[in-house]
Amino acid sequence: MDYNAKSTRYYILLFNCLLTFGSYYCFDMPANLQHQIQDEIIAKFTNDTETYYNYFYLVYSWTNMLMSLCAGQMVDKMGKVKSMFIFVTFCMVGSAIYAVGAFMTESDAKLRYGVMFLGRFIFGLGGGPITIVQNTYTATWFTGHELAMAFGCTLTISRIGSVVNYDLTPTIYDAINTTLTHAEDPNTPIDIQAGHLALGYTLMIGSGLVSLSLIAALVLAHLDGGAEKSSEGPYKATGVAGKDSSGKKKKMSIDDLKLFPPLYWVLALTISLFYSIIFPFMANSSTFLEEADPSLTDVSASFRSGLVYMCSMFVSPFLGAFVDWLGRRTVIALFGTSLTIPVFILLGYSSLDPIYMMLMLGISYSVCAAALWPSIQLLVPLRANGTANGVATSIQMLGIGICNILVGRLRDTQSFSVTMDFFVGLGVASVACVLTMFVLDTDQKMFKGKRDAEKEAASDNDLHDPLLDAPSLGKAVLEDPYKREEPLV
């Protein structure tokens, strides 16, 4: 196999995208079964149904927070392949245990909740870290002006999983519930347990989709491993991943965190604040939209919620390529974060159909995802990618977990408009962080794009005698103006 061929890189990209399809599908399944989970399980042992429901997202987020710190080091030191299979296993086992808890219809409600809570905990051990592996594969095989495009593609396929979940999960539940309730076999229970069993079957279908991640992991390990063994593809220059031209292993030290630029830390905080808007809102989105517009059914509210991820699914690859060409990542991030503010003002204080606000939020999510996450790779040395993504993910999950708690308490104790005001405040804070990034980006790493490289290459050709210049100089600058040195030695 020709590991240097462009087609090979895109095979890698395809299976790298599929790596998180199942986990993204399972992540937001509770959001589309919120009423069923609250009514059939949580309400039987507490009145704080919103708070306890949000604990499912809290445990996922905070498990991710702690695991992501370890995951970055695991990817950098153990390698991508071993780490990948560990994290995929956590996803498969955790999602299965979560479904088993729903099947325990004759057990105490607290026990069922505890089993499901354990499932989300184990799922969290793999759900976030597998994205770190995915980002590392992307950064290994795609550099320079293809990086944001590749990140956009991984986000698109992952979000197809989310969109399929929002569109199909309520329908699957209704179909299974109807089938169980109208069973003709007199030996089949046709009482209230039918709804509980329908919940379990629906969650187990989602768990089965995580097996796609295992298939993708096997193919990725084969392709990437073959390239590394033959010293081809991204390993052509050094022969072995993670080694320099002398063959000496480049070790990532925790002390290197001190050398990460201030811009990286503000970028990580911006990511945390922005995603603390998106994920806690999406975890409760169906019930939020039903409060904003009482005429909506469960299915129609779920469809409108899914529009946020549907926007990302369709535009992310094109938007990523556009960001690669244009640059101006801070400008784009400022637009995306600013757009969240009118979304939640309109949801809390207007009578408009929520479909418009969900489309706006989808644009905001797509824009920020294309501008923020790929920027990490521009600010740190290549060998520290795993750790840099792990630390940023950990900070992100800390914020999301805190906001999940706050949203749950606000839902149980305050009005709908107060909860929307909380999201507006997060939007303002994320805008303030982006404005700080403008000041810190003194070397314009987040500002420049491919079009700037084209202008610089043309200017070099005009100012220098081509007979005295190296033949490939202009081409090299054009292909990868952000070629990263390894300053952390």
Q: What is the DSSP string of 423-456?
A: HHHHHHHHHHHHHHHHHH-TT-TTT--HHHHHHH
pLDDT tens sequence across 198-211: 899 999 998 888 88
> What is the band of 241 on the pLDDT scale with cuts at 50, 70, 90?
very low
Query: Range with the lowest mean pLDDT among 59-73, 213-227, 246-260, 443-457?
Result: 246-260
Q: Residue 244's pLDDT is what?
A: 45
Q: Residue 256's pLDDT is what?
A: 66
* Residue 46 Cα to chain centre, angstroms: 32
Instruction: Give the Cα separation of 327 and 371 in Å (integer).
Output: 9
Could you tell me which residue, 412 or 339, shows the higher pLDDT? Answer: 339
Provide CB contacts within 8 A for 112, sequence distance 6+.
Answer: 41, 101, 102, 104
Instruction: Give the Cα separation of 17 and 330 in Å (integer).
Output: 26
Query: Range with the lowest mean pLDDT among 109-113, 242-246, 309-313?
Result: 242-246
pLDDT tens sequence across 288-335: 998 889 888 878 888 898 888 888 777 776 777 787 777 788 999 999
The mean per-residue pLDDT over the stretch 20-37 comes to: 88
The values of phi and psi at residue 130, to 5°, are -65, -30
The Cα-based distances of 72 to 10, 120, 134, 281, 389 in angstroms read 24, 21, 11, 27, 7
Q: What share of the chain is helix, strand, coil (3-state, %, to 5)?
A: 80, 0, 20
> What is the band of 89 on the pLDDT scale with cuts at 50, 70, 90?
very high
- Nearest-Å Rg of the Cα atoms of the chain is 24
Q: Residue 434's pLDDT is what?
A: 94
243 beta partners: 249
Could you tell me which residue, 136 or 76, shows the higher pLDDT? Answer: 136
Q: Residue 454's pLDDT is what?
A: 65
Residue of 309, 311, 313, 287 whose CA lies nearest to 300: 287
**Do 191 and 106 contact (CB within 8 A), yes or no?**
no
For the chain, domains (ranges, CATH) are: 7-227+259-440 (1.20.1250.20)
Q: Residue 458's pLDDT is what?
A: 64
The values of phi and psi at residue 249, to 5°, are -65, 130
Provide CB contacts within 8 A for 418, sequence distance 6+.
Answer: 410
Instruction: Give the Cα separation of 202 and 191 in Å (integer).
Output: 18
Provide CB contacts within 8 A for 298, sequence distance 6+.
Answer: 35, 170, 286, 290
CA angle 57, 58, 59 (to 5 degrees): 95
Mean of pLDDT over the chain? 81
Is residue 250 over pLDDT 50?
Answer: no
> What is the band of 106 on the pLDDT scale with cuts at 50, 70, 90?
confident
Helix, coil or strand: residue 89? helix
pLDDT tens sequence across 376-410: 878 877 667 767 877 888 898 889 989 989 998 89
> What is the band of 466 on the pLDDT scale with cuts at 50, 70, 90?
very low
* Six-digit token string for 241: 């991943």
Is residue 194 over pLDDT 70?
Answer: no
Which residue bears the tokens 């919120």? 34
Share of the chain above pLDDT 70, in %: 83
Residue of 375, 393, 85 whose CA lies nearest to 269: 393
249 beta partners: 243
Query: Range with the lowest mean pLDDT among 309-313, 333-337, 432-436, 457-461?
Result: 457-461
